[in-house]
Structure 1
Amino acid sequence: MQNIKNIVTLALFLIFGTLSAQQEGLLTNYRYHMNAYNPAYVSPEGETAITSSFRQQWTGVEEAPRTMVVSFGTRLGEKMGLGVSVMNDKTFIESQTFIGIDYSYKLKLSEKSELYLGLKVGGNTYSVNTAGLETYNIQSDPSISSLSDFNPNIGAGILLKREGLFLSLAMPRILQTDRAENLNGTATATVAEPHLYATIGYDWPLGKSHLLLKPSAMMRQVSGAPLSIDFNTMLSFDNSFELGASYRTDSAFAGLINLSLQKRLTIGFAYEVSTRNELASAKNTNELFLRFVF
């Protein structure tokens, strides 16, 4: 049984090392972690909140990707926002943690429109467990033994809000950093390319009821990988209970549920399933979500 798991893990490493060059963690419940992707999105609603998520991908595979994200945001006066975002990813032999300080500044365009400009300053720690390659019989490039370091980085973004609509465009890590990658069965040293994120969303009140429909979409683009888009729709009941679904264009569906307690603590869960044939034995992906408003 252990050998079967190792083979499945190796297959996934080979498949996704070739087909996808995306190196930054993703979340199904991305709307509550927007400042992790766009520094301009620091508490645009004027509230102080801390949010955390844990994502366990492909629960049927040992050493499958795991992502942990913590984000915090608050307002400083009328026009400025300050936040912190931390993202940790662990996949197979790789482990990386990015910590960023987020700053936003609000420009009033009209009575109903606001433009936010954001700057992210931080850095990324990255390491590779080269000894783990022996277990999976992957040939290793000797140059990757040195990939264990800290890389400073910067990011930038803009956010446009108009009543219930928001448009977001950001590149949270502009500078290239070192990493490992699979190339024809050999683990080699390479660089992590900047990721571009574009997000659109709208909060649509349904008549005079307490129902709110919240459709959104997030596009991710990085050199060497196909365009990936998440389509997410949530139905909110009196801002206390949310139920929704998500579709990712690289063949994944998810169901989401969020429950708010006294408008301060929100607990959420997302259950995701891939429709790729090569992931039939990898099983589902689980994502837990917690948010507290001070």
Structure 2
Amino acid sequence: MKKIYILVGLLLLTSSRLLAQQESTITFYKDNLNLINPAFVGVEGTSKLQTLYRKQWTGIKDSPSTQAISFMMPLQNKKFAVGLSIVHDEVFIEKQTFIAVDFSYDVKLTEKLNLFMGIKAGGNNYNVNTEGLETYNLISDPSLEPISRFNPNIGVGFYLEHDKYYVSLSSPKILNTERAKKEEGYATVATDRAHYYLSGGYNIYLSPSLHLKPSVMVRYVNGAPFSTDFLATAVINEKVHFGATYRTDSTIAGMVKFAVGKNFILGYAYEYTVNSNLLGKANGSNEFFLQYIF
């Protein structure tokens, strides 16, 4: 395992060019669309504080983890809305925290159709702690110095809402930014490229107390394959949600979400990679979601 860590670390710090990779995936993406689409902060017209924790591949040491916390509230008769989000990702010796402020404006197209337009402004703080690397040299390698960078960024998003369906299109980070660059002999690592997200869903009312909510999420970044989530959720009395997800990288997930009183919503999802050859001893991913409605 130590040899694997050494190899991964050296690849991160000595590669002059790496392919683009997808940003962190979230099973509860429908509840956290504001993280990728700033327009979403105004959609539900209520003030909310929510947090999410995701631990990926729990059988592997130093595997990826994601922590997110966000707040959103409407302004001026709910035509405007603002939000704040913080997303922290960790994997092995890498840590990065993206902080953003969201603005959303509601345009009423018809009696039942609304278009929300949003802007995201923020920045990403990226750190590589090379002290986490294990090498066979007794003397530290000067090329393995810790790396720390802050990159500002902006994003845009659109959300079309109908009482029976929705369509979301966004790019939360438009600017291409380097996580670390070659300076005075230091090697570069991967460049963050613009990600594009397209999602949509439909409400199927089976009875006053039961309806289905199928949805799909497509992610794309230049240099990486498309990633698509297919989600089907059953909602009972607007209080209990059961869902199942299939992602095109051979991943399946089950999820449950339920209301506790009038203000709290709790959620849990378990995700598993069907192709065991990809991750070896990985035990799957756990995701926890908590929301408070003011």
Judged with a 3 Å threshold, the aligned counterparts in structure 2 of structure 1 residues 15 and 243 are, in CA distance, closer, same or farther, namely farther
Contact 1:198–1:220 under 8 Å retained in 2: yes
Contact 1:25–1:87 under 8 Å retained in 2: no
Q: Which amino acid is the alignment partner of residue 117 of structure 2?
A: L
Tell whether 2:124 aligns with 1:128: no
- CA distance in structure 1 between the aligned counterparts of 2:126 and 2:233, rounded to whole angstroms: 35
TM-score relative to the length of structure 1: 0.87
Q: Which amino acid is the alignment partner of residue 158 of structure 2?
A: I
Judged with a 3 Å threshold, the aligned counterparts in structure 2 of structure 1 residues 35 and 115 are, in CA distance, closer, same or farther, namely same
- Structure-1 residue corresponding to 2:28: 29
Q: Which amino acid is the alignment partner of residue 68 of structure 1?
A: Q
Q: Which amino acid is the alignment partner of residue 122 of structure 1?
A: G
- Structure-2 residue corresponding to 1:91: 91
- CA distance in structure 2 between the aligned counterparts of 1:86 and 1:194, rounded to whole angstroms: 18
Judged with a 3 Å threshold, the aligned counterparts in structure 2 of structure 1 residues 222 and 77 are, in CA distance, closer, same or farther, namely same
- Structure-2 residue corresponding to 1:209: 208
> How much has 1:279 moved relative to structure 2?
1.0
Q: Which amino acid is the alignment partner of residue 163 of structure 1?
A: D
Calculate percent identity across the aligned residue pairs.
Answer: 43
Contact 1:240–1:259 under 8 Å retained in 2: yes
> How much has 1:24 moved relative to structure 2?
2.2
Contact 1:22–1:225 under 8 Å retained in 2: yes
- CA distance in structure 2 between the aligned counterparts of 1:82 and 1:283, rounded to whole angstroms: 38
Which structure 2 residues correspond to residues 12-23 of structure 1 after superposition, within 5 A? 21-23=20-22
Which structure 2 residues correspond to residues 175-214 of structure 1 after superposition, within 5 A? 175-179=175-179, 188-206=188-206, 208-214=207-213
Q: Which amino acid is the alignment partner of residue 253 of structure 1?
A: I
- CA distance in structure 2 between the aligned counterparts of 1:65 and 1:122, rounded to whole angstroms: 23
Contact 2:6–2:134 under 8 Å retained in 1: no
- CA distance in structure 1 between the aligned counterparts of 2:48 and 2:224, rounded to whole angstroms: 33
Judged with a 3 Å threshold, the aligned counterparts in structure 2 of structure 1 residues 69 and 41 are, in CA distance, closer, same or farther, namely same
Contact 2:19–2:190 under 8 Å retained in 1: no
- CA distance in structure 1 between the aligned counterparts of 2:126 and 2:70, rounded to whole angstroms: 20
> How much has 1:43 moved relative to structure 2?
3.3
Report which of the two has the higher share of helix.
1
- Structure-1 residue corresponding to 2:184: none
Judged with a 3 Å threshold, the aligned counterparts in structure 2 of structure 1 residues 61 and 46 are, in CA distance, closer, same or farther, namely same
- CA distance in structure 1 between the aligned counterparts of 2:8 and 2:116, rounded to whole angstroms: 40
Judged with a 3 Å threshold, the aligned counterparts in structure 2 of structure 1 residues 199 and 20 are, in CA distance, closer, same or farther, namely farther
- Structure-1 residue corresponding to 2:237: 238
Q: Which amino acid is the alignment partner of residue 212 of structure 2?
A: L
Contact 1:10–1:136 under 8 Å retained in 2: no
Tell whether 2:82 aligns with 1:67: no
Tell whether 2:171 aligns with 1:171: yes
Contact 1:215–1:234 under 8 Å retained in 2: yes
Residue correspondences, number: 282
Q: Which amino acid is the alignment partner of residue 193 of structure 1?
A: R
> How much has 1:162 moved relative to structure 2?
1.5
